[in-house]
Chains A and B, each alone.
Chain A
Amino acid sequence: MGAAMIAGLPLSNRVRDYPESEFRHPLPHEAELTAGVRIEPGRSYGFFTDTTVCIGCKACEVACKEWNNLPADNLGLTGDSYDNTGHLSANTWRHVAFIEQMADRPTEMRPFQSNWLMMSDVCKHCHNPPCMEACPTGALFKTEFDTVVVQQDICNGCGYCVPACPFGVVDLNPLDGKAHKCTLCYDRLKGGLEPACAKSCPTDSIQFGEVADLQQRAAKRLEHLHAVGVPSAYLYGAPDGPGATGGLKYLNAFFLLTDRPEVYNLPEAPTRPSDRVAPSLLSGLAAVAGLAVAAVALFSRRD
């Protein structure tokens, strides 16, 4: 009999210690049982989201809202397919995008051949987070798990982090006036638990683990997809690949996509605003110098 597997990895031997299906107490190092990884400070954790197996069930959205006590927002109909959350916001830290791909002439599409792309978007927990660079109070910080979190008691609501994020993740809540975003379930990680969204994903489209392990797993998955005839598949946010441009180096939450990043509402080549400070300053100084030269030339001609 073959060993039981979870997300392509053999289940921990500890599974045999817990034959019951209901537990009265939290299990120590539960993530070892659910995600095959022991969570320890000082290591780097993240998500690998394989969009090719996402079924758009939104279990991740619900689990995120349940655990983090986030209210439903963006009420009403968006008119955009099954997408009722619309985008990431201060109250929506997971967003399942439904991208319906129509042929040039929808009436000519073969029956039962509609083409859907689905992707569960989230904070990318960048290796070099631009939001953290922009934060003047130090409210945004890197945790002991290499994730990026906003400390609510330090955030002053200035909102500099909002335009600094190249992915449009961070958002201000007008009710409490503070910045909010995914914490990669910081409180759960401290308790040895897998993040709520990854734990709830029924197809393991969202996989949680150590970033180095996830990158290896993603490379294998990519190789398999190319072998079975999906040449369009690629990794977004893997080291020095698409999505990890402009000094971001790599994203702790990265994706396997099958179409251009823009189709998934992701930037093709994200950059860090801090890289644009020197060119902006130089161009400003050049403009001032140019105007000064023009003024001198104009007034000297009058004399």
Chain B
Amino acid sequence: MADDALDRFFELSVDMLCVAGVDGYFRRVNPAFDALGYGREELLSLPFLELVHPDDRAATQVELDKLARGTRTVGFENRYRCRDGCYRSLSWNAAPDAAGNVYAVARDVTEQRRAEQALERWAHVFENAGWGIVIGSRDGTTLERINAEFARMHGWSVEELVGRPILDVFAPEVRHTIAGHIQRSHAKGRHTFESVHLRKDGTTFPVLVDVTAVRDASGEVLYRAVHVHDDSERRRAEDSVREANRFLEAVIENIPHMVFVKDAERLAFVRFNRAGEELLGLSRAELLGKNDYDFFPKEQAEFFQAKDRLVLRDGTLVDIPEEPIQTKRGRRLLQTKKVPILDGDGRPRFLLGISEDITELKAATESRARLAAIVESSDDAIIARTLEGVVTSWNESAERMFGYSAAEMIGQPISSLFPARIEHQEAALAARIVAGERITHYETVRRRKDGSEIDVSVTLSPIRDCAGTVSGISKIVRDITASKRMQRELVAAKEATEAANAELEAFSYSVAHDLRAPLRSIDGFSQALLEDYAGVLDDEGSKYLRYVREAAQLMAQLIDDLLNLSRVTRAELVRERVDLSALASSMLARLASTYPGRDVEAIVEDGLMVEGDPRLLAVALDNLLGNAWKFTSKRARARIELGAVTRDGAPTFFVRDNGAGFDMTYANKLFGVFQRLHSMTEFEGTGVGLATVQRIIRRHGGRVWAEGEVGVGATLYFTLP
């Protein structure tokens, strides 16, 4: 070919054509070299090795050396730096001539290399993906390509699986669904579904499958790209979340306190547990979606919501220690804690409330406090001990009584209070209590801290635990030292009184006999004088002897009355039912027959029944009626009355007459011994009668008093409780 023709080709070629000298400079380059971005002159002025990528220079030098030795270069690749700093991959064919020039053709393979690198990366990704990747056949039935992870997750090698039917990796129970999934991927282009895969060893595992049908320009499906994720972890995570939820649900549901959740905006109930339903007497269905105003009185709902808002505003826990609440089961007392539940941004989303019903607790606490106050304020020592005899409770009175403080006694054996000689008795008592017996007012002795002994009355009861088993002993100890002493003194006093009475008895007996005998002589011999010596005595002498006799007889009467009075004091009091009306009627009848000359109207109220000593009451009534009879002796028409009135709510009896009466000024003198308000010439008497009456009434626990007016009459009142 002519040089001219060659030049034309040289200028037109898309490949890069050049001629280089052995000096390392291009002699000539064609326009295709423009692609490197240099001017042609510039290129010819640069040693071309400098344009070669530093990593490729050594290899390039080797090729140049081979060319210098006359060997041709075929398909050698290196990278040339463009003017803009990037490199392009060039594939060289070169041949030397005899003059040492090298004729070379370079083809730009940069794009080709890039594509190859990209493909390599994708293959790398494919092979090293953390999930299974499958290229399915066009008809969707065969595994055409799989990656290592897919094989691993199924327990097979890649070689074993490739070419197998897709259905083989699905668990038998889900295989019937696969055709449907393939159809859906066809229809939608991409389809994701959950399924179960089968391992080589027969075990199964959950998977998430993502299928994409890849089509060509005409819409024909070329293949399917399938991504398979082992779903075990996610499922496990889901399961554990579900599990945790169920756990929380169960906890909330079974907490014995009311648990409720309100939404932060409307404060409507969104959650409610069983204890809450029971407390309010409302079902969840009734509660959810409603708020406090739907269930509680206005003031109460306002109170609740004010607290809710406070919790939500401050974002803190609020404790309402005592919250009264009206429920269907009546008024209850709650202790409520409210806390906000925040969302991810820290804004309150819900309000959680937990309420404990403290109604019974509070009542128990109060009753316990009351009991404790009673125990502490008791004058009796109240002590609790274990069955082993260790003190567990010790009140203030115990401190006072025994001299030991609570700190000194609690935890210590109670036996330090027992004098040694009674320890065995105490053990026997404890055994009876353990057997369930209760022992009241057992009198014994105790030793105080200072060693002195006190008399005590002890009441012992078993303390039972919830199961009813005797777990301890409670003791109520009363100090009866003082009352014991009083009792002893009382016995001594009684003995002294009895001795004195016996003496008095003997004295009275002597008086009765011996004081009367001389009086009989005085009277008898005076009478003998009057009878036997009437002739010797003048009238005056006889009169004096009569005075002597009168005095002796009065003296005898005084002695009799005094003996009666003392007998009233000494006599044993018996209590029987006594018919005062009958007694009075028979006495008045006897008086009337003894004094037939008297005209006396006797009025006795019927049915006056009292409790008392029949003989002593007869003596009293005899005196009262006898007095009335006596003091009405100067009345032409005498009237004597026995009756009853009610004074200060108690029956009061009276004996009334229309006799001589008395001056109220001397009313207090009426009941004294030997006190008389009339002269002997007016009315005879010794002045002992009313003293006797008073003593009898007083011995019955009653009272006697008199009202009267001179010339009108007297009324003697008495009570008999």
A-B complex is real: no
Binding site for A on B (CB under 8 A): none
